[in-house]
Amino acid sequence: MTLPPKHGIDLLQDPRLNKGSAFTAAERDALGLRGLLPPRVFTIEQQLDRIMENYRTKTSDLERYIFMVSLQDRNETLFYRTLVEHIAEMMPIIYTPTVGEACAQFGHIFRRPRGLYISAADRGRIAEVLRNWPEPAVGVLVVTDGERILGLGDLGAYGMGIPIGKLALYTACGGVRPSLCLPVTLDVGTDNPGLLRDPLYTGLLQRRLRGPDYAGFVDEFMAAVEEVFPGALIQFEDFATENAIGLLDRYRDRACAFNDDIQGTAAATLAALLVAGRVTGRRLADERLLFLGAGAAATGIADLVTTALRQAGLGESEARRRIWMFDAEGLLVAGRGAVPPFKRPYAHEHPPIAALADAIRTLRPSALIGVSGQPGLFTRSALEAMADVSSRPAVFALSNPTSRTECTAEQAYQWTQGRAVFSSGSPCGAVEMDGRRFAPSQTNNAYIFPGLGLAVVATRARRVTERMLLAAAEALASQADEPLLESGALFPPLDRIREVSLAIAVAVAQVVVADGLAGREPPAELEAFLRDSMYRPVHPEYLAEPT
């Protein structure tokens, strides 16, 4: 037991150290808290009861979000205890879909800074800005430039809600200690005219940096992170497609970096396909995939599926021919002009097709995967076509937040006569149909990145590789049991997320060690080591009560 470095009111105002009404009588005397708190001492369980009572009186999800952020700002341990014990209820508030609404209004609900804002005005001194962070040992940074926040577009500095929410899930779901987590927004301006006119906008009032100026700024940031927090995991989040792909290609072999929108989405979707195959009786090599959307997320999924198919014995060209893409211009084909390099492997020889339903009837896919960011594009005609060409079509409407999803669960089941194996990117309720109850789960990156992050931080991995992502996907797929599949779900319920994250962390850590990427020598008992590494939200005892 060690006394905290702060005393009195300063201690109560530090969310990392504050226990609120849980300070014991002895601690109140020793730490100058007598009289600064009401006299009754509460347990953390009693504090949690009070939090949930207040939380459930809020009349909107945005109010619930603000309430939880305020709790995080005053009592971090209690905040994480609340998340861990009520994760299924809390995740849609702390992260998608409510975080999208929170980001859109971030300057209007701003209470207290959390994370680091590194702006274009900080060129030449980014390392100095990083040193302003009070924690000297950062293990993982989630960084965004705010240009493509969920499906909402350019929110500039308002995008800070995404790294904050993502890192809360690293801790709540994966057990990564909050002191190791740093949210970062790279404020390079915004091209959103509404934000530039917003009197409460919190970011730089300028257009976005582009070209060499942008690249030089990010180069300086990456070098500064290695200087100040050497070996830290850097997760790129919600960058626009061109930058997302370009930054991942530039840094994936030079730093411990990955892009969750590309690689995390890919691992979660591959896991969903593997589990769906247990329902449909199809092997991955039997699947024929059609993507609606051909951006970074679609090509990231396609690339990882290609790797998995090659591992299963297919040649690269044969694997890629099983994957087709449909975007705003119709079916992606080789004859189309000016196809970006990252799409070319999936631009096959074929006559153009303008309508999605026609593409489905022509190509006869077994799985339809939506990553378009546009709502309602899985129309009745498209889903009826899927039911016509496959006895058990997989239908994944992965765009989020909920307002951007390609179809609802109810539409997917109704328009395929209940034969779809459905999953979505955002939460959806159960569906009653013809005497059967479907309770689909989310294909959400939160099933992947917390466990991946725990493994990387605990082993001090030097890189994030495709083999690690494949291991994460396979470990997640292994967590589905038969009762779960019978309910229409593909992944375990969120109240098991820490158990799932541990299984993923073990699988990823095994690859890290086997491939010689560990920056430390982990013990032979990896599972016990990782389990012991997981943060548990329990108030510390600063001073034992007298016996």
Which residues form the catalytic set? Answer: 95, 166
Structure token digits, residue 345: 């492997």
514, containing H or E segment? helix 497-514
Rounded distance between C-alpha atoms, residue 90 and residue 416, angstroms? 31
Rounded distance between C-alpha atoms, residue 337 and residue 334, angstroms? 8
Closest CA to 56 of 44, 69, 45, 67: 67
- CA 65 to chain CA centroid, Å, is 17
**Left, alpha or beta for 464 (phi > 0: left; psi -120 to 50: alpha)?**
beta
- Which distant-in-sequence residues (6+ apart) come within 8 Å of 48 by Cβ? 78, 81, 82, 85
Question: What are the distances in angstroms from CA 441 to CA 315, 349, 480, 545?
Answer: 32, 36, 11, 45
Rounded distance between C-alpha atoms, residue 74 and residue 13, angstroms? 6
Closest CA to 408 of 416, 400, 397, 419: 397
3-state DSSP of 316-374: HHHHHCCEEEEECCEECECCCCCCCCCCHHHCECCCCCCCHHHHHHHHCCCEEEECCCC
Rounded distance between C-alpha atoms, residue 26 and residue 33, angstroms? 10
Rounded distance between C-alpha atoms, residue 479 and residue 400, angstroms? 24
Structure token digits, residue 492: 């375990």
Closest CA to 191 of 206, 201, 204, 213: 206
Name residue 244's amino acid: A
Rounded distance between C-alpha atoms, residue 545 and residue 32, angstroms? 16
- Which distant-in-sequence residues (6+ apart) come within 8 Å of 161 by Cβ? 99, 102, 103, 106
- What are φ and ψ of residue 476, in 5° steps? -65, -45
Question: What are the distances in angstroms from CA 449 to CA 8, 208, 258, 452, 472?
Answer: 38, 29, 10, 5, 9
